[in-house]
Amino acid sequence: MFGLSLLELFGYLGSVVIAISLMMSSIVKLRIINLTGALIFTIYGTLISAYPVAALNGFIVIVNIYYLYEMFTKKEFFEILEVNNDSNYLNYFINYHKKDILLFNPKFDISEINNWVTFFILSNSVAAGLVLYNKINEDSLFVKLDYAIPGYRDFKIGKYVYNEIKKDKSIKNIYTAAGNAIHNAYLKKIGFIESELNSEKVMYMKND
């Protein structure tokens, strides 16, 4: 194709994969895709006898494997910090991340949070996520917002949050607002299913 050999196309594929990796907001995805690109270049460099290229990219493969191992085996310390709805930092955080929040949760409206329980999820003292919820009856609650900042979207925060919520055995039903396709896929991965509440599409999780 276009006068290029399969070997040359293989080399270009490595370049494309590495370029794609740099567009990832998730550190885990960046590492995995970058590892794939570096592995392709390692093989490519070996096949064309460009051994410095192969050696450099082989080193990058090892570095990515090391950090991925650290990420998947390191036990992160999470903590919940509840705040008042009139908190200056809460307003700053929401306004700072507003565009990103609305991308994943288009129906989120900051003016509706007056009576909601609000807390940050701290990861080693960093405000990595924000959750807002309210009880809709004695055994059900509705999560208005479940948001994690870029770099913390590897499901660990979500699993931590809902495991904490589930510790309250009086809560039998957990509802949350449906978001965009990416957010809904995340919710399904941690146990939510599509449902309806008051004739509106929501995501639902039963607390067994």
CATH of the domain at 200: 3.40.630.30
Considering the domain architecture, whether residues 32 and 97 belong to the same structural domain is answered as: no
Q: What is the mean pLDDT of residues 61-70?
A: 93
Considering the domain architecture, whether residues 88 and 122 belong to the same structural domain is answered as: yes
Higher pLDDT, 78 or 208: 78
> What CA–CA distances, in Å, run from 17 to 40, 65, 167?
9, 17, 42
Query: Going along the chain, which residue ranges are E strands?
Result: 78-83, 117-123, 126-137, 140-148, 173-177, 193-197, 200-206
Q: Is the confidence at residue 1, as pLDDT, over 60?
A: no
The confidence score (pLDDT) of residue 30 equals 92
Report the number of distinct structural domains present in the chain.
Answer: 2
Considering the domain architecture, whether residues 50 and 107 belong to the same structural domain is answered as: no
| Among 18, 39, 73, residue at a domain's last position | 73
The confidence score (pLDDT) of residue 6 equals 87
Q: Per-residue confidence at 2, pLDDT binned at 50, 70, 90?
A: low
Domain that residue 200 falls in: 78-206
The confidence score (pLDDT) of residue 3 equals 57
The DSSP result for 2-52, as a single string, is TT--HHHHHHHHHHHHHHHHTT-SSHHHHHHHHHHHHHHHHHHHHHTT-HH
Q: What is the mean pLDDT of residues 91-119?
A: 89
What are 120-152's pLDDT values in tens digits? 999 888 999 999 999 898 899 999 999 999 888
3 state DSSP class of 140? strand
Q: Per-residue confidence at 85, pLDDT binned at 50, 70, 90?
A: confident
Give the helix/strand (H/E) hosting 56: helix 51-73
Least confident of 11-15, 24-28, 135-139: 24-28
Angle ∠(119,122,124) on CA atoms, nearest 5:
170
| Among 20, 44, 73, residue at a domain's last position | 73
